[in-house]
Structure 1
Amino acid sequence: MSTGIFPKLSSSYILSFQFSSWYTIFANVSIKSTIIRPLSQEFRDYLDADGVFIPEGSEDVPTKSSIFDDGEGPDDISDEDETPEGQHFAFPDLDAKIRESIQEYGAVFPKLNFSSPKDASWILPASSPLKCTSPAEVYLLLKSSDFITHDTSPESAFSGCDLPETYDLELVLRKWYPIDRSRELRCFVRHNILIGISQRDTNYYDFYNEVNIRDTILASITAFWESKIRPKWEISDYTFDILLTRDLVRGHILDFNPYAPQTDALLFTYDELHDIFLERIAGDKKSATLKIIDSKTHPAAVSNMPAYQHNMMPFEALNISNGRNIEEFSNAWKEGIRESMNG
């Protein structure tokens, strides 16, 4: 048994964590999802293209963008440059598949092989983050996200290991519904031993301070892992994200990630997890360690600070804001959005 801090990385190991690799095994304990793969090279080119613009035909009905609050929208702009020069994309077959999933689920939230565009959730209404009801909204989220560039570039997705012979980009459409982030937890497994459980959302929730609640969470996740994951999952080193039910006794798998530096250890460090692992295999510790934010002054607490706030204002906004008052900045920013979305 290797007792290094991390397992050896390889492309086959990383590919085990792309959505299509694990979802078919755990579909009955996860959120309903549709996988569309492989995606065309043209779609990759669209994601890599400069600017934020929507492929032709992807909007269900012509509507004015919520970005514009002065009554003027894309429909009021000249047709001369609908997309950046030389970049015209249309995906009628993909549009149709997305619409089928939306019709089946009511609404979807998208992701690619490994990453979701959570950093771009600000671009859709805050009351329903990531909720997409048209292909255009799916594309808008993906195009506005920095996170998904991890998946579009094999060099990023397989950083630290060999590149695979083939790597097909996939679009995942998951059934959207509002999620209580306070019940999301990340769990760490090393050599088939559950060693750590961390609160995912870095806000303070007072219910976590109740001892019986913490005991219930630890017992529920341990039982879920022992009955639903360990017997079916051939990988011995991994993390998984789980959403507990309101009564905290059952759960749904949200995602799997490699046990590797690129996976956020959240309230742990990987050195701490390694020490816990050594205690577990020595028999000095009988159960996983649960870490939560136990006060508003906890160093990791963000205290109502928006998640991924550093992604909410694109770098270009900093450039155009220099020397302008709020009204001037607002007008300049709208013009910049118009240019990027409509040529």
Structure 2
Amino acid sequence: MPSAVPKPTLFPAQTPETLLAFQFSSWYPRFSSLSIKSTVIRPLSQEFREYLDSDGVFVPEGAEGVPAESTLSDDEDSGADSDEDDQDRRRYAFPELDAKIRDSVAKYGAVFPKLNFSSPRDAAWILPASSPLKCMSPADVYLLLKSSDFVQHDLDTERVFDSCDPKAIQSLSPSYELELVLRKWYPVDRSRELRCFVRQEVLIGISHRDPNYYDFWNEVTTQDKVIQAMADFWEANIKGKWQETNGDYTFDVLLTRDLTRGHIVDFNPYAPRTDPLLFTYEELHDYLLSCGAAPTRLPILRVVDSPSHPAATRNAPAHQHNMVPFEALAMSDGRSVDEFAGALQEEIRNLMLERDNA
């Protein structure tokens, strides 16, 4: 008798080689005609990595468009302390990288940046809300990256390969190199963003990415149209064309206005680090196990189906934990966490005294 086929686990096993298939420079050349125009700058210097990993939020010397100095009041002593901090802080300058960023801005009109895997979307608040993530200068790019918690993932090799066998990481060849990706910026209609989940080369689920409620997404004809469009898009352009992932991956798509085609925004591992959005991975696993059994029809589409849906009732803005006033960022420049906390508390006391004496 033939041996029984083992059931798939909740998540596929990850190897360093598999994870590296998801860094931008690995998948973009293959799918560039279906994606957003982009420029990859690699390798980046160790000095640039150290800059991104250093304390404080500041831009390197020579980058134009530096935001104004803090408008918080400073007494003479704090001014002296600030001068001393400036002298002690290591100086950074990246004239060659500045030039490449300016070239990309000139080429595309505006750019939004990311590193190998992660984009600084949690820091979108630091640039004008009318044009989130829109960078017009090297200073804009550096400020976004420096203000982001998300991109820190890409700076630490242990975090990048945290799901892999440590011995496999040590023998990794070629080594992991940090890269800066500059993508052509344009306004995105978030109502047309989807995330698709593929396991063992089966398109299991499609989730709406925006947690807001939209009437048109709850029309049966629209849902059927999108399910068919995404299945056709995946079959024609992605399925079976990416052996390095072993058929396990997720991909983000921006639908065209007529909802019949899509543009690939990004690929991510089929792993806990990738947000399942309106699904759980347990649900997706159950759908995979029931593949081919009536009445299950794959892929399953999930959208926010009412204004009272849990995803639509979150009043807090996305990534609010990462939102602090720019004045506070200026105060953090070059300070440790404890020093910054003390300085912030002192500034709050001064502001309260000024208010009480007004």
Partner of 1:187: 196
Larger Rg: 2
Aligned residue-pair number: 324
- 1:1-343 aligned within 5 A: 3-59=8-64, 64-65=67-68, 80=83, 83=86, 85-162=88-165, 163=169, 164-165=172-173, 166-234=175-243, 235=245, 236-282=247-293, 284-302=295-313, 305-313=316-324, 320=344, 324=348, 328=352
Q: 1:318 to 1:128 in 2, by over 3 A?
A: farther
Deviation digits for residues 243-287 of structure 1 (CA, Å, limit 9, x no counterpart): 001111111000000011111111111110000001115465232
User: TM-score scaled to structure 1, two decimals?
Assistant: 0.86
Q: What amino acid is the match of 1:26?
A: F
Q: 1:13 to 1:284 in 2, by over 3 A?
A: farther
Question: Using the alignment, how far apart are the partners of 1:231 and 1:32 within structure 2?
Answer: 24
Question: Using the alignment, how far apart are the partners of 2:44 and 2:162 within structure 1?
Answer: 22
Question: Using the alignment, how far apart are the partners of 1:216 and 1:91 within structure 2?
Answer: 48
Q: What amino acid is the match of 1:262?
A: R
Q: What amino acid is the match of 1:178?
A: P
SS in 1 for 2:310: coil
Q: 1:319 to 1:330 in 2, by over 3 A?
A: farther
Unpaired stretches in structure 1, ≥5 consecutive residues: 332-343
Question: Using the alignment, how far apart are the partners of 1:323 and 1:50 within structure 2?
Answer: 19
Q: What amino acid is the match of 2:199?
A: R
Question: Using the alignment, how far apart are the partners of 2:37 and 2:353 within structure 1?
Answer: 42
Deviation digits for residues 20-49 of structure 1 (CA, Å, limit 9, x no counterpart): 110000000100000000101010110111
Q: 1:86 to 1:217 in 2, by over 3 A?
A: same
Q: Are 1:120 and 1:311, in contact at CA under 8 Å, matched by a contact in 2?
A: yes
Q: 1:325 to 1:180 in 2, by over 3 A?
A: farther
User: TM-score scaled to structure 2, two decimals?
Assistant: 0.83
Unpaired stretches in structure 2, ≥5 consecutive residues: 329-336
SS in 2 for 1:246: coil
Q: Are 1:39 and 1:171, in contact at CA under 8 Å, matched by a contact in 2?
A: yes
Identity of aligned residues (%): 57
Per-residue deviation, 1:160: 1.4
Per-residue deviation, 1:233: 2.0
Q: 1:29 to 1:248 in 2, by over 3 A?
A: same
Per-residue deviation, 1:81: 6.1
Deviation digits for residues 56-110 of structure 1 (CA, Å, limit 9, x no counterpart): 1111x5x653x8579x9xxxx9995694624111111111111110000000000
Greater mean deviation of Cα atoms: 138-147 or 212-221: 212-221
